[in-house]
Chain A
Amino acid sequence: MTFRTAMVWVWFDWRAAAVVDEQGQIMDLEIWQGRMSIEEAMSRLELLAASALTPEARRLAERFPEASVHPAGAVELPEAEYPLPSVEEQEVADEAALKLAEMGVARSAGDPDRRLEHLMGATDELRASWLIYESRLVEWVALFIPQARFERDRSALAGKVADSASLAELAESLGCELPEVGPDESEWQVLKQSGERVRTIGRELERLENASKELAQQHLPSLSALLGPLLAARLSVCAHGRMRLARLPAGTLQVLGAEKAFFNHLKTGSPPPKHGHIFMHPWISRAPRWQRGNISRTLASKAIIAARSDAFGGEVWGAEQIGEVEAKVQEIRDKYPRAKRG
């Protein structure tokens, strides 16, 4: 074959491939000879979706090595009378496309970002209702047993209410005296049920958090090691996925969750927020106020590196890397032991 100076293209779709020149002349043609089945059409459409070559296209590309190869739909291809599928072939392809779409939808269930989103959403909703039920229970019990004090340990209360057969038994387990007036029998029953509910929801919350932790540790191992799995999961969900989180600047990660304060800052010039969800981290929430901004900046800049390491398949952070970050945070603590005056 002689060398050509003119441009040549290989066009291909799921069932055919053609070599075409600048005038739109078809110079060579390969049509798939195999048995037309939906499965086969699916695998070929998948090749196209993955920007790979079909066997026909590969053969023509080998025959015309100087040609530039493009699948149907590419903007680069010239106008030409490309071979069109018959009505039956088009029907097969349409059915294959629908099946592929269904497979793609089913596959999206494997996306840990979507799974984390549901886990975190369910946790938040359940926690909100648990808090409401629990505070009602505390007030309710305290109405009948005014002596009882729960500051120390409210968590055991639900179990005690649920396990008591009567108010007298509850008072005893709380170490209090039984007052003169008490609830009716039916009233006590619903109070008891309310205790059972608080206990059940509390347990469910625990299971939910364990599931979130487990998934976050698989999906975001480095970020989980640095910030804890729940905070890592929250940041990832807030950024709408691990890949999006990894592409954020550190400053954005730092204020994720403080959108209200942040946009208020942009709008009115109020002081910018120092921290968003990242405040949950004990290095920040337990730090004295004047160190928090500084520490959260440092932590956010390291956290975004950990997130990128997770998203792009980097090394998983271990005690060594975490130790380095902690040393930096310690430096800040040592440098500013006291609040600036004035």
Chain B
Amino acid sequence: MSGRRGGGKSLSWAVKFENRGLWTRNAVAGTSVYGETRRKFSGSEYRRWDAHRSKLAAGMLLTNNDPSILLPEAGTQILYLGAGHGTTVSHLHDHLCGKDNERGGRLVAIDIAPRCLRDLTHLARSRKGLVPILGDARKFTTWGALIQRRVGWLFQDVAQAGQVDIFLSACARFLAPEGLALLSLKAASERFSDKDEDEVFAEVGQRIVAAGYQLVEAISLAGLEQQHTLFVARRII
């Protein structure tokens, strides 16, 4: 079955597929985060989740499996490494926490750039349950005290050399058994390799399996993102 599907389809209580795009129920009704369209569906306001700007949304549109398994369970604790300006984070928050954190979720978002944190802290002020941290995603000890319980869902998008090592050790340290981990990998960030893209991606897949994870899918984001693949791994034990 093709990844793109037509007609309204609900992926979670707050995420739906409508008009060939993804929408999330707006936790802060009346506001857009990055200039995205808002629209009402049966009484509640939704924000359009731009798949060109969010690799998670792109992955959900292009996956061969059920896109809803890529989402965390609403009301749980998740970890987001390399949060950027909060585009994906805001939609995840819609789903995970909802208005005034009615679902009781907790989204810990880490980024190293003060410029990104400026946007994230503004976002966190209006969205309860979002915890932004200015820190290095590689240095677990500087922020690890805020992740006490293992998380059921982890996303990493850091686009730097050695991102696979960071991903595997973050999963080993913070991912709960049966938890889902997503790695957005940019081939060009693996700098010192002279392999071509496909070889890089194949090798990363092998490394994830060798580390004891089930590789659920490697979604090529071609068409929506350049040179990116979204790896979906599940912790078996």
Footprint of B on A, CB under 8 Å?
12-14, 45, 48-51, 70-75, 82, 84-85, 90, 93-94, 97-98, 100-102, 104-105, 107-108, 111
Q: Knowing A82-B148, A98-B132 are in contact, say whether A48-B142 is a contact too (CB < 8 A).
A: yes
Q: How far is the CA of A102 from the CA of B115 in the complex (A)?
A: 11
Contact assessment for B117 and A104 in the assembled complex, using a CB-CB cutoff below 8 Å: yes
Whole-angstrom distance between the Cβ of A334 and the nearest chain B Cβ = 43
A84 with B149, Cβ < 8 A, contacts A101-B120, A102-B121, A105-B118 known: yes
Q: Is B173 an interface residue (CB 8 A)?
A: yes
Check A73/B117 contact, CB under 8 A, given A14-B145, A49-B135, A98-B132.
Answer: no
Check if B148 sits within 8 Å of A101, measured CB to CB: no
How many chain-B residues does the 8 Å CB contact rule pick out? 28
Which among B124, B132, B148, B174 is the interface contact of A13 at CB below 8 angstroms?
Answer: B148
User: Across chains A and B, which 6 residue pairs bring their CB atoms closest together, nearest first?
Assistant: A73-B144, A108-B114, A13-B145, A104-B134, A73-B140, A72-B145
Closest to A74 in B: B141
Q: Which residues of B does A touch, CB under 8 Å? A: 106, 114-115, 117-118, 120-121, 124-125, 131-135, 140-149, 169, 172-174
Shortest C-beta distance, A260 to chain B (Å), equals 20
Report how far A14 CA is from B131 CA in the complex, Å: 16
Closest to A83 in B: B148
| From B141, B142, B145, residue with most partner A Cβ within 10 Å | B145
Taking A49-B143, A90-B106 as known contacts, 5 extra A-B pairs with beta carbons closer than 8 A to each other, sorted by chain A number, are A50-B142, A72-B145, A93-B145, A97-B143, A101-B124
Measured between C-beta atoms, what is the minimum distance from B139 to chain A in Å? 8
- Chain A min CB distance to B41 (Å): 31
Q: A317–B132 Cα gap in the complex (Å)? A: 42
Complex contacts, B114 vs chain A, CB 8 Å: 104-105, 107-108, 111
* 28 A–B contacts from the bound complex (CB under 8 Å): A12-B145, A45-B146, A48-B142, A49-B135, A49-B142, A51-B141, A70-B141, A71-B141, A72-B145, A73-B142, A73-B144, A73-B145, A75-B169, A75-B172, A75-B173, A84-B149, A85-B148, A93-B146, A97-B146, A98-B124, A98-B125, A100-B133, A101-B120, A101-B132, A101-B134, A104-B134, A107-B114, A108-B115
